[in-house]
Amino acid sequence: MLRDILGLMTQCLNELKNEGVTHLVVEEKNLNALTQAVRAHAKPETTQTPNPAANRATPPPPEIAPTPATTQTTTLPQPPRIELPQEEPHAQLAWLQKRVLTCPTCNEHKRPSKQLVFGTGAINAEIFFCGEAPGAEEETRGEPFVGPAGQLLTKIIEAMGLSREKVYIANIMKWRPELPTPYGDRPPTREEMAFCLPFLHAQLAIIKPKVIVALGATAIEGLLGHDPSRTIGKIHGHWQKFNSIPLMPTYHPSYLLRSKNPQAKRILWEDMLLLMEHIHLPISPRQRNFFLAPQPNINPA
């Protein structure tokens, strides 16, 4: 039980790190409670008879089990080759969705009674929002970004003067990454994202968006490749390219839900303002001032 709790805590910390969080505040009482729990769980020392082998170098104590995200070893086949039929876009998208939903590998890795998650939105969308992978609510409903982070993404889209029906929303992964426990989430591995990328390429080829919005550090890595120097804190708000399509990297909406930084919303919103300018969406003075910190009211002497 304690191992599961520690594994889940480490998983959550890794998720926060992937989203750009660098510091956390932990109350002393919570830290003390965790320390006491670990000590109570530890086995009492036993007295052993002398052994000549005791003079050998003592091996280091075992480490706490790493999170499932780092221990998950999934052997996947080669990524699929997708050749779209020579049909109109709606027929192509329907063909591709069926191709994903009947993919043996995707179905092998999804949870029993759960769903694969293809994508949703306008086939002629100018903006393609791309996340990393479905979560628990997404695999239940078979639709991307429908949990708390998805509800916040909807509000961001509406603040831009659009609606979910006017954009396209998808994830790199089409199944929720597996865990040995029924709770929690983990970032997909590079191998998992590499397997699913051909499906995303095909979605983009059909929809032909003007811009892609990469939501979160894991999605950015999946789309742009692994580069330790390419942190989300450095590149958010700076245009990149994915297959010649302009790509705006920004924070995942879940970062806003967890962040204690009062300016977090403004940081992401400024990235969206750059996107709106790029595709010539009208921006009102009110929109430009969204999430700005209120200026102090200084009365003249």
pLDDT digits (tens, 9 = 90+) for 165-196: 999 999 999 999 998 776 788 999 999 999 99
In a domain, 155, yes or no: yes
pLDDT over 90 percentage in the chain: 69
Better pLDDT: 282 or 63: 282
pLDDT at 14: 55
pLDDT digits (tens, 9 = 90+) for 273-300: 999 999 999 999 999 999 997 766 666 5
CA dist., res. 111 & res. 88, Å (int): 33
Three-class SS state of 285 = helix
Specify the number of domains making up the chain.
1
pLDDT at 179: 87
In a domain, 14, yes or no: no
Better pLDDT: 294 or 51: 294
Residue 262's CB is within 10 A of a number of other CB atoms, namely 9
In a domain, 142, yes or no: yes
Better pLDDT: 28 or 172: 172
Helix (H) or strand (E) holding 126: none
Q: What is the mean pLDDT of the chain?
A: 83
Residue 129 confidence (pLDDT) above 60: yes
For residues 144 and 150, the answer to whether their CB atoms sit within 8 Å is: yes
How long is the chain? 301
In a domain, 294, yes or no: no
Residue 222 confidence (pLDDT) above 50: yes
In a domain, 117, yes or no: yes
> Which range (12-21, 124-133, 267-276) has the least confidence?
12-21
In a domain, 295, yes or no: no
pLDDT at 234: 96
In a domain, 17, yes or no: no
pLDDT digits (tens, 9 = 90+) for 79-123: 999 999 999 999 999 999 999 999 999 999 999 999 999 999 999
pTM, entire model:
0.76
pLDDT at 171: 98
> Which range (25-39, 185-199, 200-214, 252-266) has the least confidence?
25-39
What is the domain range of residue 108? 82-284
CA dist., res. 26 & res. 124, Å (int): 46
In a domain, 61, yes or no: no
> Which range (25-34, 47-56, 179-188, 221-230) has the least confidence?
47-56
Q: The domain spanning residue 89 has which CATH number?
A: 3.40.470.10
- SS3 string, 15-35, reads HHHHCCCCCCCCCHHHHHHHH
Instruction: List, as one string, the DSSP characters of 34-61.
Output: HHHHHHHHSPPP------GGGGSPPPPP
CA dist., res. 8 & res. 18, Å (int): 15
> Which range (62-76, 182-196, 215-229, 286-300) has the least confidence?
62-76
